[in-house]
Amino acid sequence: MQTNWFIVIRVGEAWWIDNEGKAFGPFPNREEAGAEALEIARVFGDTARQSRIYWPGDDGRHRLVWSGK
């Protein structure tokens, strides 16, 4: 099964969501970008694929913060 990845990234002072080459944003902080990524995954996600949301922790390394269909 393929996975639908949502990756929250910081560009300059703004936060963005990358979903398979589509950009969503900007958002003022990581938490708002993450909440929007979750909403997009739940509303528009492909039910045949697992969705995963990753965002950077305080150390800068990306971590899985949500997984579901």
Averaged pLDDT, groups of 10, the chain, 69 residues long: 89 95 96 95 84 93 92
Q: Is this structure's pTM higher than 0.95?
A: no
8 Å CB contact between 51 and 4: yes
Residue 46 in tokens = 């492909």
**Would you state the pLDDT for residue 1?**
56
Comparing C-alpha atoms, which of 11, 3, 13, 6 is closest to residue 55? Answer: 6
**Would you state the pLDDT for residue 2?**
86
Task: Name the CA dihedral angle for 50, 44, 8, 48, rounded to a multiple of 10 degrees.
Answer: 10
**Would you state the pLDDT for residue 49?**
87
**Would you state the pLDDT for residue 13?**
95
